[in-house]
Amino acid sequence: MKMTLRSRMLLLAVLPTTLVAVLLTSIFVLRAIDLVEQGLRTRGNAIVRQMATVAEFGIFSGQRASLSALTESALRIDPDVRGVAILDARGAVMAISGVLNQASWPELGPIEGHRLRQDVLLIAEPVVRSSVPVDDIYGGLETVPAARSKLLGYVVVELSLREVTGRSERLIGIGLLIAALGSVLGGWLAHRIARGVTGPLLEASEVVERIGGGELMARMNVETAGALQSLAAGINHMAARIGVTQEELRARVAEATSGLQREKEAAEHATIAKSHFLAAASHDLRQPLHALGLFVSALAQSEAARQEPALVGHIRSLADTLQNLLDAILDISRLDGGNVVPSFDSFPLGPVLERMAGSLSLLAEQKGLRLKVRPTRVWVRSDEKIVERILLNLVGNALRYTQAGGVLVSCRLRHDMVLVEVWDTGIGIAEQAREEIFEEYAQLENPERDRAKGLGLGLAICRRLAELLAAPIGVRSRPGRGSVFWIQLPLVSAYSLNREIPAAILPAEAADDPARISGLVLVVDGDPLVGAGMEQAIAGWGGSVLLAANREEALRCCRRDEGPPDVVICNVELPGGVSGIGLAQALRREFEHMGVLLVSADAGEDVQAAARGAGFPLLRQPVPPGRLRAALRHLLAVRAG
């Protein structure tokens, strides 16, 4: 158990005092007991010597009566004498008084103190007769011979030690009492001292703990602090300073929090405004871009294009650049806003690579580069559309920065992962710039911002899409030799390699098919420019076009006497809040064999899910003319079949 400060101080003060008191008392008591026993021995020795002197004549003359009287008188002289005996030289008893333990006696001789038992002390003294030779001192002897002594007997006295033991016990009791009184006195003094020292210390500790817990008004009582008044005053001063500082900090924190809250609200308002702006831009900008692309496509087939091909090419290039820029900016915004939610599923990687190669083969041919994709039959688990978008950006970026040689796309297995790598023979990337290239608008070899070299958003979109999939992405490069961009996807080993691979509804290779179309197409769109662009482009491809701006006009066009159109191209958002998907479903129910193609400037996840649920293909505006033509050819072929 942990001892408190007061307990430690009490123990420190009481323990030495108690030890000293016990030690001194023990010394004094033992000394007193020894003195008592020495006094008893001295008295006993004095008694036997006196009796030995007196008993000399009685033993010599054989007067037993006088010897008995002598022993009786010895018992009366000292109460500690419990027995006295006078023996002759042969050890026969001549007189005895009191109680003796003769059987326990040792060999008789001069004995000054021998314990027979714990409470009996034996003292013996020989009785001798001294004879002095009577010679003529004038006989011419030079020296006087010593007196000759003759043993006559013994005087034996047994002393009782009970009185000595009693006195010793009383002395021990007195010693213990003195030691206890000393300990009590020392403890009392230690307690008084501890109260005067530990009390303020404990109070100081409590006050400091309360201040640390946030109770800034806690203070010590200086008057009761005794010798520690300066400490108490210092703690109170410290608490006051802490309180002032804490209040200042609270005020600053409150002010900073208020400022951050205002900035947060402003940022949220800005985000909402940005979202509203981008939502409007997604629709209002894509519509005219869609119409512009269709007009450019129609212009390319006109007589003016044959007279001014360079001018038409410039217009088409600028329209494509504007469309790519808008798509990239809107994609970045949707990713930053968390509006893109991946849909994870297992799919074969081979068809994704084939579609990507088909989409970018024309770009490779235009630059005189080789685009090679090594076939693979592995399956991965991820979002197929997002993976295809990442690979399109990586390969397109590689083609853009490669002037000679080519681009290779390959897959490598790493345990339970698939590493998709895009190799190029381009300019390479310095080590210090390999993280910078994944930032927005970062272009290492385009300081003049030439739009033909890209916009600097492709890799930034790849990084965001890869983070959305939790898929590692990176680059290895050697300046002047080329680069390898890679992305790592989880492998699905449970799928059979012979599993059927779904075919794409709209093959990318058909985008550049020059074949003409034939059939009647109904275009339902509330934007007159989009309708006009559709009409001119489809007519240029050999088809016939009917235009409708709303639901009623579309129904009239379909119920005409000449019969319904072969295909209807319907915008998802129609004037008056009418759903284009709902209109297409109504037309399909009434005209069973009519082909349906949906277009939308805002092809979000909910719109795509609704189109898939209705069973209609969906194209996002602005639609490239080649893709629109391929879709129409496919639907007209199905209608004819």
Q: Please indicate whether residue 308 or residue 454 has the higher confidence score (pLDDT).
A: 308
Are residues 524 and 571 in contact, defined by beta-carbon separation less than 8 angstroms? yes
Distance, in Å, from the CA atom of 161 to the CA atom of 167, rounded to the nearest integer, reads: 10
Confidence check: pLDDT of 445 > 80: no
**Confidence band for 408, pLDDT divided at 50, 70 and 90:** very high
- Cα separations (Å) of 88 from 49, 52, 63, 159, 466? 16, 12, 12, 21, 129
User: Shortest CA distance to 29 belongs to which of 150, 127, 172?
Assistant: 172
Q: DSSP assignment of 394-437, as one string?
A: HHHHHHHT--SSEEEEEEEEETTEEEEEEEE-S----GGGTTGG
Distance, in Å, from the CA atom of 129 to the CA atom of 152, rounded to the nearest integer, reads: 7
**Confidence band for 433, pLDDT divided at 50, 70 and 90:** low
Confidence check: pLDDT of 508 > 60: no
Q: DSSP assignment of 548-559, as one string?
A: ESSHHHHHHHHT
Are residues 506 and 627 in contact, defined by beta-carbon separation less than 8 angstroms? yes
Measured at the alpha carbon of residue 118, what is the angle toward residues 115 and 120, in degrees to the nearest 5?
55
Distance, in Å, from the CA atom of 311 to the CA atom of 327, rounded to the nearest integer, reads: 24
Tens-place pLDDT, residues 520-562: 999 998 888 888 888 888 888 888 889 998 889 999 899 887 8
Task: Give the mean pLDDT of 436-458.
Answer: 55
Give the contacts of 572 (CB within 8 A, at least 6 positions apart): 579, 580, 581, 598, 599, 600, 602, 607, 611, 618
Query: Cis omega before residue 528 (within 30°)?
Result: no
Q: Which helix (H) or strand (E) holds 159?
A: strand 148-160
| Residue-level pLDDT at 567 | 92
Fold of 340-496: Heat Shock Protein 90 (3.30.565)
Q: Please indicate whether residue 202 or residue 16 has the higher confidence score (pLDDT).
A: 16
**Confidence band for 513, pLDDT divided at 50, 70 and 90:** very low
Are residues 425 and 293 in contact, defined by beta-carbon separation less than 8 angstroms? no
Distance, in Å, from the CA atom of 535 to the CA atom of 435, rounded to the nearest integer, reads: 47
Confidence check: pLDDT of 506 > 50: no
Q: Please indicate whether residue 498 or residue 587 has the higher confidence score (pLDDT).
A: 587
Distance, in Å, from the CA atom of 46 to the CA atom of 380, rounded to the nearest integer, reads: 121
**Confidence band for 449, pLDDT divided at 50, 70 and 90:** very low
Confidence check: pLDDT of 451 > 50: no
Tens-place pLDDT, residues 90-118: 888 888 888 888 888 888 888 887 888 77
Q: Which single residue is written with the structure tokens 């006094």?
A: 39
Distance, in Å, from the CA atom of 80 to the CA atom of 43, rounded to the nearest integer, reads: 10
| Residue-level pLDDT at 489 | 92
| Residue-level pLDDT at 228 | 63
Distance, in Å, from the CA atom of 623 to the CA atom of 601, rounded to the nearest integer, reads: 9
| Residue-level pLDDT at 280 | 60
| Cβ neighbours, 10 Å, residue 287 | 22
| Residue-level pLDDT at 195 | 63
Task: Give the mean pLDDT of 407-424.
Answer: 89
Are residues 461 and 393 in contact, defined by beta-carbon separation less than 8 angstroms? yes
Are residues 70 and 54 in contact, defined by beta-carbon separation less than 8 angstroms? yes
| Residue-level pLDDT at 283 | 58
| Residue-level pLDDT at 403 | 86
Confidence check: pLDDT of 569 > 90: yes
Which of helix, strand or coil describes residue 113? strand
Are residues 156 and 139 in contact, defined by beta-carbon separation less than 8 angstroms? no
Confidence check: pLDDT of 51 > 80: yes
Share of the chain above pLDDT 70, in %: 71
Contacts for 409-412: CB closer than 8 Å, 24+ residues apart: 409/353, 409/356, 409/357, 409/371, 409/372, 409/373, 409/374, 410/373, 410/374, 411/349, 411/374, 411/376, 411/378
Confidence check: pLDDT of 502 > 60: no
| Cβ neighbours, 10 Å, residue 90 | 6
**Confidence band for 505, pLDDT divided at 50, 70 and 90:** very low
Domain 515-640, CATH among 3.20.20.70, 3.40.50.2000, 3.10.150.10, 3.40.50.2300: 3.40.50.2300
Q: Using the CB atoms, write b or e for 572-593: b if 16+ within 10 Å.
A: bbbeeebebbebbeebbeebee
Give the count of alpha carbons within 13 A of 508, CB side only: 13
Q: How far is CA 348 from the centre of its chain?
A: 40
Confidence check: pLDDT of 577 > 80: yes
- Cα separations (Å) of 99 from 49, 84, 141, 156, 164? 20, 8, 52, 12, 19
Q: How many residues does the chain have?
A: 641
Q: What is the CA radius of gyration of the chain?
A: 62
Q: Please indicate whether residue 337 or residue 615 has the higher confidence score (pLDDT).
A: 615
Tens-place pLDDT, residues 55-82: 888 888 888 888 888 888 888 888 888 8
**Confidence band for 330, pLDDT divided at 50, 70 and 90:** low
Confidence check: pLDDT of 510 > 80: no
DSSP E strands in 161-278: the ranges are none
Distance, in Å, from the CA atom of 526 to the CA atom of 284, rounded to the nearest integer, reads: 12
**Confidence band for 348, pLDDT divided at 50, 70 and 90:** very high
Distance, in Å, from the CA atom of 441 to the CA atom of 82, rounded to the nearest integer, reads: 126
| Residue-level pLDDT at 289 | 67
Q: Considering the entire predicted model, what is its pTM? A: 0.40
Distance, in Å, from the CA atom of 630 to the CA atom of 430, rounded to the nearest integer, reads: 42
Which of helix, strand or coil describes residue 122? strand
Fold of 1-130+148-215: Beta-Lactamase (3.30.450)
**What's the N-to-C CA distance of the chain in angstroms?**
95
Task: Give the mean pLDDT of 600-615.
Answer: 83
Distance, in Å, from the CA atom of 14 to the CA atom of 191, rounded to the nearest integer, reads: 9
Q: Which helix (H) or strand (E) holds 460?
A: helix 458-469
Task: Give the mean pLDDT of 458-478.
Answer: 85
| Residue-level pLDDT at 568 | 93
At 13, which amino acid appears?
A
Confidence check: pLDDT of 415 > 70: yes
To the nearest whole number, what is the mean pLDDT of the chain?
77
Both structure tokens of 442: 């970062």
Dihedral over Cα of 579, 580, 583, 589: its sign: negative
Share of the chain above pLDDT 90, in %: 7
Give the contacts of 370 (CB within 8 A, at least 6 positions apart): 364, 405, 406, 407
The answer to which of 273-282, 366-375, 503-512 has the lowest mean pLDDT is 503-512
